[in-house]
A and B are shown apart, each in its own frame.
Chain A
């Protein structure tokens, strides 16, 4: 009991400390760095969506960036072209993308493992083709510019710092919901499907529907991420939503560790902030990064979080065995 209280206190302390840091962070950084933080959080939301479908349900999807694009274009059309309130556009993006993922999931999830991955590559390429060529709906290769700023009831989010608070609070809410999902029966059924489909269906889980729901939830997050991206950057085009970007998200979650949202966060921070710190490398940055991924997979095949857990387990075990002896 006492232990529990102590643990709760520590967690409370950490949360307060983290919030204080988060609130202070943009005030002490340049506008440019705040922009980088904002992009980090948007990447994080996209990678979090991959955590649901890949980390929890075990389906490696290469279509996340395409789903993000759907969200971004829905927002752009709704709020800028047709003049809906931005918050309506955002909700429509989330629901629209989730619905799209849910429906397309019925087709794609008839396939398993590698075959599913390939079909998502195909989906990604098709979506990118549509983004780049459908002039009426997406502005074609010109993209869509001059998008409206996000606003709620007259309060306009017109600076990077305001966006930082907006995006960060969305990310925190999303993380808490995903954390709850992890402990819920639905989340457990995702993991059952990931680990063994035959066993899962023996337990009365509908595999197809479960995977579809996972894909739809990831679509919801992608829609949110894409919508925020559209509001933040004010300009979207097909080049932002292409296959290499989707592959990058998969790499990010593998670097961070696909076993928890923390892995997604660590991966996103690394991928966005490292280029800023390693400016002096210039053109060599991406090359070193590619080689680094290969090296990291050899050293930490379970990602940074997985590697940290292993280390922790080793440390605890050593301590325990010492007590036993």
Chain B
């Protein structure tokens, strides 16, 4: 029972962590908070639904295509919401992403309707680990999220491309003097950010129903994960995500299912009061 809960919590947590990581990447690159991140999760789930259920492609294949498509849509998103406003105030960009979030939600509703949908799990059946019976889906989510996180870490820290992105994030002007094409670096950041978010959506889809509002709660919880972990810190987002996922599952079991979200956000407020800068955050830098 406990093992099951822990695995469920971790698998939800890594998905929140993935979305949170996407937010952190964007925040580090351009200094804004993307309020439409959760809606890209929803979009990913819907695109995978279209490929998997409507066109009958195998789930793995549609997973891969979805990830790439969502990444590309991230680049489009960047050119629509961020690029024209890059010199404007933060609040303007935030409202622009809120507008994008409404537009995305309505677009999917117009295309795929508002009835809840579902897709094939990555692998059917259960696995037994030391007496605990676990669904493959949860186990695969953890494995996959770990692989994705590892890849992003490798890309950011060990490759030239990662250096370019980090240089752009730190100082756009200096980076452009070094001959780095800023727009490409930022576009790439949005691509990766949305790719991991969309992948998270595909992985969550078999567990929850796919609706056009599924991204709202997931997005807000990913925010919570990022804030608990420390804004701007990638490993913080992952740790925060795990914490949120575990709290959610345990609160749902031991407190009450109806109040689990309330408990999650109470944890957020408490953690903000105790350590406002987050677990891995430095003293709040007044960035942006």
Contact = CB atoms under 8 A, between A and B. Distances in A.
Given A129-B258, A290-B101, A243 B220 contact: yes
Contacts of A114: 33, 231
Interface in A108-148: 108, 110-115, 117-119, 121-123, 125-126, 129-130, 132-133
Contacts of B91: 60, 254, 258
The secondary-structure label for the interface of chain B is helix
10 contacts: A117-B33, A118-B272, A122-B265, A122-B269, A132-B258, A289-B102, A291-B103, A294-B80, A298-B96, A301-B88
Contact of A247 (B98, B231, B256): B98
Interface string A260-291: 00000000000000000000000110110111
Contacts, number: 124
A251 B220 contact: no
Given A110-B276, A122-B268, A126-B262, A297 B95 contact: yes
Given A250-B95, A250-B98, A287 B103 contact: yes
- List of 9 A-B pairs having minimum Cβ-Cβ separation, nearest first: A293-B99, A290-B103, A290-B102, A129-B262, A122-B265, A287-B106, A286-B106, A133-B258, A297-B96
B120 interface: no
Nearest to A287: B106
Nearest to B267: A122
Contact of A118 (B92, B95, B103, B224): B224
Nearest to B33: A114
A117 B269 CA distance: 11
A121 B94 CA distance: 14
Nearest to A135: B258
Given A119-B272, A123-B265, 9 more contacts: A60-B94, A110-B272, A111-B276, A122-B224, A125-B265, A258-B91, A290-B103, A293-B99, A301-B92
Nearest to B281: A115
A231 B231 CA distance: 42
A258 B223 CA distance: 25
Contacts of A289: 102, 106
Interface residues on B, range: 35 or more
Interface in B61-83: 80-81
Contact of A284 (B94, B100, B110, B265): B110
B115 interface: no
Contacts of B96: 293-294, 297-298
A126 B266 contact: yes
Contacts of B98: 247, 250-251, 293
Interface in B252-266: 256, 258-259, 261-262, 265-266
A115 B284 CA distance: 10
A292 interface: yes
Q: Most chain-A CB neighbours within 10 Å: which of B84, B99, B227, B259?
A: B99
Contacts of A118: 223-224, 227, 268, 272
Given A114-B33, A125-B265, A294-B81, A243 B272 contact: no
Contact of A293 (B88, B102, B109, B259): B102
Contacts of B95: 250-251, 254, 293, 297
A123 B269 contact: yes
A306 to B, nearest CB: 10
Contacts of B101: 247, 290
Contact of A283 (B89, B110, B256): B110
Contact of B273 (A107, A112, A130, A293): A107
B269 A119 contact: yes
Contacts of B102: 286, 289-290, 293
Given A60-B91, A290-B100, A125 B106 contact: no
Interface in A38-76: 60
A286 B105 CA distance: 9
B242 to A, nearest CB: 18
A294 B99 CA distance: 6
Contacts of B227: 115, 118
Contacts of B286: 112-113
Interface in A290-324: 290-294, 297-298, 301
B99 A251 contact: yes
A298 B84 contact: yes
A244 interface: yes
Nearest to A133: B258
B46 interface: no
A292 B98 CA distance: 11
Interface string B48-68: 000000000000000000000
A197 B92 CA distance: 21
A244 B216 contact: yes
Nearest to B84: A298
B123 to A, nearest CB: 33
A120 to B, nearest CB: 10
B262 A130 contact: yes
Nearest to A299: B84
B262 to A, nearest CB: 4
Nearest to B35: A247
